[in-house]
Structure 1
Amino acid sequence: MIDDTAKDPSSKIWYALPAGFFATPIDALDPEPGSERESQLEQALALVLDLAPEDQRDRYAGALRDVRFMAAQMRSEGVIACSLGMHYADDGSSASSVFTVALRDIEWAPAKITAVRAVSLRECAENVGLLTLPGGRPASISDTLITMPALEGVPSQDLYQCNLYIPAPSGTQLGVLTLSSTAVGSRKHYRDMMEGIAHTVSFHDPLPEIERAARGDTADGTGGIGNDIASDFG
């Protein structure tokens, strides 16, 4: 299934996600002050609070404030897309995750150097690897476990995080794709899935190539990209 965002002429990066991911409209959650979007968001949040049980409205209000704060933080860090994922782990339990895409301006450098530099500067990076994407493009990947401190009402827990670094052909932009999940037991599956996603990333409109691949008339191997992404963990 091709999302409508893939046909947006203002898009700067394209990628494919497996089934089970749902886009979160971070732009709508962090509108410009005084804009029509902000007014619409305030109305929507007020409706949610009206529907909440009276004895839990403060809790709901706090959660909504946290969501807006996180959306603003992500946008300030260059995140341009966010999706929530829900899949099944090997033991049959559900595994939720958050997937984000950031596009950062960088000083020009050869693509391979950019990929190596990006992953080496990551704090606590483990299991570092270099990838060769379609067309011989370089990329890098790393993952790690982070222990999150205990918060009020939330115990300390481990968080799995996997990062992809994919330089744009221009050499002046870097795509950073990140997946985070508390389902640390599924880290191998998430790592494999992220490597599959990496092979779908493009900085130009890939739809014509995808249409040719669907007809089976490509000779560059792009026809198999969709099969490289695991849509579930089973």
Structure 2
Amino acid sequence: MADLAIVIDDSFNDPHAELWFSEPAGFTALPLAELLPSPDSGAADDLRAAATPLLDAFPEGGARRHFIAQFATAQRLLAALRETGTVHCSVGLHRDDVGDVAVVGGRGPLFSLFTISWRDTGVAPRGVTAARAVTSADGHARIEFAELPCGPVTFGETASVPAPGSGLPRRPLLQLHAYLPHPDCRRLAVLTLTTTAPERRDEYRAILRLIAESVSFENPLGNAGDGA
């Protein structure tokens, strides 16, 4: 069995971090701050400098305009996520190797989106808060309560189709949620894994549980003042 490679992101040492976690292979974090800079900031200049070589690689015309439009749409979607309390966002890309993989041409890649958001809650025991998170919202299915190393957590699923004008393809979406109350009993970390492959529900649910099991509300290495 090959050794498992663990990569520690620079954000691990963020002094303002309030939650630590690990992601399995296949996920790439999106730098929200760098992709959504203030218009007149140095970060905006850095983004323009990074994007210029890519834009220059496109010939003038429809392809270039399409790329710019797609990039602007992605920024709007990320901004909407951040406005709702999202502090982390990753894109997952995995090979569909479940079932009959001997199909001519192979199977296409599976895309997913993983986010972590904070939600304020009323003061209550953590188990109560975790239970309320899934019972107070409509449409949750396959609800499960568990005790993980970080404390109580509830899991649930919802299914939907993106609204017209959202910029997303109108394909069925499966959203898997994990609700983890913070030890201060005043807020909730919401882990959400979204996929357009509902037929891979069990595999994605296993991925979300794996991530939730890695969550810690204290620096796992015990370095005071460090975080991610």
Query: Which residue in 2 is equivalent to 1:48?
Result: 54
Q: Provide structure 1 residue ranges, at least 5 long, that are not aligned to the other structure.
A: 210-234
| Residue pair 1:143, 1:191 contacting (<8 A) in 2 also | no
Deviation at 1:71?
Answer: 1.8
Deviation at 1:9?
Answer: 2.2
Distance 1:169 1:150 in 2: 39
Deviation at 1:127?
Answer: 1.1
Query: Which residue in 2 is equivalent to 1:26?
Result: 32
Residue by residue, what CA displacement relative to the aligned partner does 1:50-88 show, whole Å, maximum 9, x if unpaired? 222323122111111111111211111111111111112
Query: Which residue in 2 is equivalent to 1:206?
Result: 220
Please, which moves more after superposition, 2-11 or 15-24? 2-11
Distance 1:140 1:87 in 2: 25
Please, which moves more after superposition, 113-122 or 158-167? 113-122
Question: Following TM superposition, where does structure 1 have runs of at least 4 consecutive aligned residues deviating by more than 4 angstroms?
Answer: 149-155
Paired residues for 1:92-107 under 5 Å: 92=101, 93=107, 94-107=109-122
Distance 2:60 2:81 in 1: 31
Instruction: Pick one of 159, 170, 177 that aligns with 1:163.
Output: 177
**By percentage of residues, which structure has more helix?**
1
Please tell me whether residue 35 in structure 1 is matched to residue 41 in structure 2: yes
Distance 1:68 1:186 in 2: 28
Distance 1:20 1:112 in 2: 32
The letter for the 2-side match of 1:12 is E
Paired residues for 1:111-190 under 5 Å: 111-134=126-149, 137-148=151-162, 156-190=170-204
Percent identical residues:
34
Structure 1 length as normaliser, TM-score? 0.81
Query: Which residue in 2 is equivalent to 1:4?
Result: 10
Distance 2:87 2:44 in 1: 18
Instruction: Pick one of 201, 208, 213 that aligns with 1:194.
Output: 208
Distance 2:166 2:83 in 1: 26
Q: Would you say how many aligned residue pairs link Structure 1 and Structure 2?
A: 208
Residue by residue, what CA displacement relative to the aligned partner does 1:144-201 show, whole Å, maximum 9, x if unpaired? 2222356799863111110110001110121011111112221110011111211111
Instruction: Pick one of 20, 34, 45 that aligns with 1:14.
Output: 20
Greater RCO structure (CA 8 Å; 6+ sep): 2
Instruction: Pick one of 70, 73, 77 that aligns with 1:66.
Output: 73
Distance 1:118 1:177 in 2: 12
| Residue pair 1:149, 1:155 contacting (<8 A) in 2 also | no
Please, which moves more after superposition, 74-83 or 35-44? 35-44
Please, which moves more after superposition, 46-55 or 70-79? 46-55
Distance 1:152 1:74 in 2: 12
| Residue pair 1:23, 1:82 contacting (<8 A) in 2 also | yes
Q: What SS is found at the alignment partner of 1:207?
A: coil
Query: Which residue in 2 is equivalent to 1:215?
Result: none
Please, which moves more after superposition, 38-47 or 25-34? 38-47
| Residue pair 1:125, 1:143 contacting (<8 A) in 2 also | yes
